[in-house]
Amino acid sequence: VANSLTSVNEPILNYSKYYKFGLYFVLTLGVSNIFLNYILISSHGLVGAAMATCLAYVIYNGIKLVFLFWVYKMHPFSKGVVAILGLSLIAILVQYPVQYIPSPFLRVPLNGLVVLVVLVLPSIVFKLSPEFNGLLKVVFDKIPIFGPSLKSWITKYI
C-alpha cells in the first residue's frame, strides 16, 4: 500500500538533479529489510518476513516522501485522501475487536457495517475525494438491488 500510495515519488526523484539520493534510499531499504527480517522472523516466523518487508517499504517510501517534501515542497496527497486514509485507519481499529467474535455469521456483517459507517458514508456525505466517490458511483450503479430512490440519493451525494 505504501508503495502504491507514493509511487509517483520514484520518477520525480529519478529525473531530478537529486537522483543520486535514490541510491541511498535503496540502500536504506535493503539494510532495514535485513535488520527487520533478523528481528521479526525469529519471533513471528513467516509472517515476520512479510511484516519486515512491509515495514521496510513503509520506511523507504516515507523517507522519499519527506525528502521530496523538504526539497520541492510537494507531496502526492490531497486533504481528501488523507481524510480517507485516516477513516480507513479508524475502521481498522474499530474492526480489531470484531475478529474475536466466534460466529462468522455475526462477524462478517459487523465488519461490513463498520466499513460502511466509518468509511463509506462519511466519504460520500462529506465528498472527501472525487476519485473515491467516482469509484463508489460505479460500484453502486452496477448493483441491481438498489431502487430508484436509493440510487437518486446516492447520486445526489456522490
Model pTM above 0.75: no
pLDDT profile of the chain (158 residues), mean per 10: 77 90 94 96 93 93 92 83 87 90 91 89 84 76 67 65
The residue behind cell 477513516 is 87
Q: Where does residue 64 rank: exposed (0-12), middle (13-18), buried (19+ CB within 10 A)?
A: buried
* Nearest-angstrom CA–CA distance, 70 and 56: 21
